[in-house]
Structure 1
Amino acid sequence: MKELNLDIFPKISNDQWKKLAENQLKGVNPDDKLKWRNSAEISLEGYYDQSDLQELEYLNTYFSQVKSHRWKLYEEVTVKDEKEANRQILNALMGGCDGVILSIENPDLLDGALKEVDRNICDISIRSNEHINPEGLSGMMIMPDGNCLLVEETENPISQLLEVLKGEDQNFIYRNAFSDFFLEISTVRALRFLLGEAGRGNNHIHTYIPKHQSNEHQWFLNTTAGLASILGGSHSIDFTTAIGDPRISRNTGNLIREESGIDEYTDQCGGSYYIEVLTDKIIKGVKEKLK
């Protein structure tokens, strides 16, 4: 395949773009006309280019030093009947999941639910309001008994990140994704940077896709929000089931991993003008609130 020569495209400066935009807007100042706010009410410009990255080198410096990681596909299983839960867990693991998150109220059901599950080759995490004796549960993460920070569902990335940073330093951060594709990428990147700056760079960021009122919309939300969360740097993710068949949601993750090749990475969206600026705005917004 012939290599692309990108030098054949003319270099366009910010001033040149503004002049062209002003002409097309019939004399209206594009700085005023094209400014907008995203779903998180963050103010943004209509155009970004290389010049906007001049003061954002700190992001490149940080992410260039972050080790790549393989993101994991999890599935959440509610344990009410141990036989049914066991069936769901085995189906999830055989269907490509790296692990499961068990939502369980009765600890007596745990052994039956995990029958024939090899805990040495998969991740098992537990969400429970009841005390669970960790004896015999080596390799399993008990939530929220000292290991997990459950972040309240929110539509505002700055509020979400504030909740994480103000919370205790936990190994496992359980957060919701945002439906805005670029906002989700930038939010996870901002979270990774802020955790690293706070000396919490080893925290595991787990993202789940919130349930949408429309089942049809949920399929698209799983794909777009899931991909965005992965591109941003989540360590694990689970996809919400919309129609009672977790296989479809599970395979969304499998397709993203196998078809896109996005498996191990450091910061694939680094250098994107808009995403870098949006990441910076979220970081500054969080720091302003922390003062």
Structure 2
Amino acid sequence: MADSNEKLFSDFSPVGTDQWMEKVTADLKGADFEKKLVWKTNEGFKVKPFYRMEDLEGLKTTDNLPGVFPYLRGTKKDNVWKVRQNIHVDSPKEANAKALDILNKGVDSLGFSIKGKDVSADYIETLLNDICADCVELNFSTCQNSVVKLAQLLVAYFEKKNYDATKLQGSINYDYFNKMLTKGKEKGNLIQTAKDLIEATKSLPFYRVITVNALSLNNAGAYISQELGYALAWGNEYLNLLTEAGVTATIAAKKIKFNFGISSNYFLEIAKFRAARMLWANIVSSYCPVCTRDCSNTAENDECRCAAKIKIHAETSTFNLTLFDAHVNLLRTQTEAMSAALAGVDSLTVTPFDKAYQTPDDFSERIARNQQLLLKEESNFDKVVDPAAGSYYIENLTASIAQQAWNIFLKVEDEGGFHAAVKAGTVQADINQSGKARHIALSSRKEVLLGTNQFPNFTEKAGEKRPVANKCCCGGDSNSCESTIAVLNSDRAACEFEALRLQTEAADHCPKAFMVTIGNLAMRQARAQFSCNFLACAGYEVVDNLGFETVEEGVKAAMEAKADIVVLCSSDDEYAEYAVPALKAVNNRAIFIVAGAPACMDTLKAEGIENFIHVRVNVLDTLKEYNAKLGIK
């Protein structure tokens, strides 16, 4: 069989890149290759339509092995990750019962969010009762004023239970800068709290207690290179401050954990996590961490390579979650989970699909868990390390994202470091500008959010569902809190479309849009489908039709159907014949729209036709205008 295969491949002569380009150029029939087929990403670099082995030449990323510095292919030699579920603790007894239940359903990493005022020895004892702390990863979040106390209580609890500290894994979420970014407040003594945390957990070598919550950037709409670049500067600031304060680089690096978000850009997300490991390893290496124990994983001068291993927790984004057609969120989070799992993260949280409009229920939490278990137990994603390795495409994406992220990192360093940049608001301004650009792209469908700005569910009603407001530390709306520093805008991508659709749903009368289809069969059907999808984004009732013999017949049917909007659907050439008679037939009894951008548009506008919908129209602004004309507020 081997000989047969070898003979088979030898029958095909090799095809060079020049030959491929000749074929592509011929098929383009004069169209510009760069404009037609080369994609410029939001991250600022270009992606070619095809890659070949020669595109790997000079890339150092292909020389790496799993578990070997600089860890581009993974910090370990397997691809096992921990399935994490977060629990907001109101009652320690109830949270304990829930934790024990989900541990029996496939979870092996727990994230407890505890109110600072509740932190006490009895509280921890009740919360962790019967949970085998050396069999599961335990992660804790509380207010900044209580993190040291929490750490001390956890250590005391573990000692009381006689746990082997070397078998305990987990984290305490202390992130001074995230509070500045999301709340606009700078509170407490960063260095002293961080040092006290490290001192309190010195007996827990595998507990990470300084966190880089780059997830906040992702949820604010950051581009991938921005999230990575700022995360690296964020982590480096902690390293720099701690080492200046007397903490060794080895200990400081081993206490830092990164929480990244995951967007739906599948291949770029895989590349992001690969680049993150490599870049962070090189940053830590520049601090020359010295190995403090007998370990073979050292470089020259006893430089500790273990300290350069990044610890990554990933969480699917909330930026692209939607209230309408919410089950599409399952497709988004599944794709996101796949990219993170293939990229080799250490732990993963899948956000329940209903989080945009309610506190996730048992059903949505169960589905979120099972999404990961499906990847593990049925798809065997944990059995292969870095399957993207050697891919011409992903290796080039990794190098490109690494370069873009590194440029951002250097820019922040030139500005005086991450702390100074956040205090000045330059980080927030950059991310918010990207978020705004993405909202604009969504409004014009340059970026697609399925079920929201493209192919909405025509008949769906929100009912009692309403968007969940961003919660603040004080328990109110985050936008109402006083702040002294600029904050990130974490409005979801769909929020403006949802507000428009909820506005329509709350109106006394749901507008009806009637398709007057006439003329060329293919064009009228295509235009009608486009128009139905366009107008349904506002929650309008849409009525499609097979076709009419005359525009007068079509308009008559529309008026009998009590249409509020009449859409003429035909071919560009035929609009010169049909559009003006249709406008006159409507006679201001409804909003009249022409579907398309015909060459005779200026002539039609001169005849009084105001409304045209086509691919270059801003969907959101146009629908807002129609709502205003219909008296919907």
CA offsets 1:136-189 (integer angstroms, 9 cap, x no match):
254342221543222233232222222222222443211111211101101001
Question: Partners of 1:208 and 1:102 in 2: how far apart?
Answer: 15
Decide whether aligned partners of structure 1 residues 280 and 264 sit closer, same or farther in structure 2, where only a CA change above 3 A counts.
Answer: same
- Indicate whether 1:59 and 2:25 are aligned: no
Aligned-residue offset at 1:4 = 5.9
Give me the identity figure in percent.
24
Segment of structure 1 superposing worse, 253-262 or 81-90: 81-90
Give the 3-state SS of the residue equivalent to 1:153 in structure 2: helix
**What is aligned with 1:289?**
408
Q: For 2:77, give the aligned amino acid.
A: S
The equivalent position to 1:258 in structure 2, one of 377, 383, 394, is: 377
Q: Residue 71 of structure 1 corresponds to which residue in structure 2?
A: 81
Q: Is the 8 A contact 2:110 2:137 kept in 1?
A: yes
| CA offset digits 1:236-278 (Å, max 9, x no partner) | 1011112422111101111101112121443210111111111
Aligned residue in 1 for 2:294: none
User: Aligned with 2:335: secondary structure?
Assistant: helix
The aligned counterpart of 1:93 is 103
Equivalence for 1:153? 217
Answer with 123-132 or 65-74: which moved more: 65-74
**After the TM superposition, which residues 171-250 of structure 1 pair with which residues of structure 2 at under 5 Å, given as runs?**
171-198=256-283, 199=285, 201-211=308-318, 212-214=321-323, 215-243=326-354, 244=361, 245=363, 246-250=365-369
Could you say what secondary structure the match of 2:64 adopts? helix
The answer to whether 1:142 aligns with 2:151 is no
Q: In structure 1, what is the equivalent of residue 470 of structure 2?
A: none
Q: Which has the higher strand share?
A: 1
Corresponding position: 1:30 with 2:33: yes
Alignment match of 1:269 (pick from 377, 388, 398): 388
Counterpart Cα distance in 1 of 2:42 and 2:103: 36
| Secondary structure of 1:208's aligned partner | strand
Q: Which has the higher helix share?
A: 2
Change (3 A) 1:44 1:71: same
Aligned residue among 388, 395, 398 for 1:279: 398
Alpha-carbon distance change, 284 to 124 in structure 1, aligned in 2, over 3 angstroms: same
Question: In the TM superposition, what whole-angstrom CA distance separates every residue of 1:86-125 from its partner, at most 9, and x where no partner exists?
Answer: 2321122111111111111132443322222111211101
Query: Which TM-score applies when normalising by structure 1?
Result: 0.90
Kept after mapping to 2: 8 A contact 1:187/1:282: yes
Question: In 2, Cα distance between the equivalents of 1:87 and 1:180?
Answer: 37
Which moves more between the two structures, 43-52 or 110-119?
110-119
CA RMSD of aligned residues (A): 2.3
Cross-structure match for 1:164: 231
Match of 1:48 in 2: 51
- Please, which runs of 5 or more residues in structure 2 have no aligned partner? 159-167, 175-196, 198-208, 239-252, 286-306, 355-360, 411-633
Q: 1:54 to 1:19 in 2, by over 3 A?
A: same
2:56, 2:62 within 8 Å by CA — same for their partners in 1?
Answer: no
Query: For 1:182-238, what per-residue CA distance to the aligned partner results, in whole angstroms no more than 9, with x for missing partners?
Result: 011010011011122223532210000123124312211221110101111211101
Report the residue type matching 1:161 in the other structure.
Answer: L
Asked if the contact 1:68/1:264 (under 8 Å) is kept, the reply is no
1:121 aligns with 2:135: yes
- Identify if the C-alpha distance between structure 1 residues 11 and 104 changes in structure 2 by more than 3 Å, giving closer, same or farther: farther
Distance 1:137 1:193, change over 3 A: farther
Task: Find the aligned partners of 1:223 and 1:42 in 2 and give their Cα distance.
Answer: 26
Structure 1 residue corresponding to 2:119, chosen from 101, 107, 124: 107
**Aligned residue type for 1:157:** I
1:59 is paired with a residue whose SS is: helix
SS at match of 1:135: helix
Alpha-carbon distance in 2 for matches of 1:9, 1:24: 22
Greater Cα offset, 259-268 or 179-188: 259-268
Contact map agreement 2:86 2:113 (CA 8 A) in 1: yes
Bigger Rg, structure 1 or 2: 2
Q: Whole-Å Cα distance in 1 between the matches of residues 42 and 378 of structure 2?
A: 29
User: 1:116-135: per-residue Cα shift (whole Å, max 9, x none)?
Assistant: 21112111010111331343
For structure 1, which segment, 6-15 or 89-98, has the greater mean C-alpha deviation from structure 2 after superposition?
Answer: 6-15
Give the structure, 1 or 2, with the largest relative contact order (CA under 8 Å, sep 6 or more).
Answer: 1
Q: Distance in 1 between matches of 2:332 and 2:380?
A: 20
Aligned residues: 290
CA distance in 2, matches of 1:128, 1:40: 34
2:132 maps to amino acid? D
Contact persistence 1:171–1:202 (CA under 8 A): no
Q: Aligned AA for 2:350?
A: F
CA distance in 1, matches of 2:30, 2:114: 63
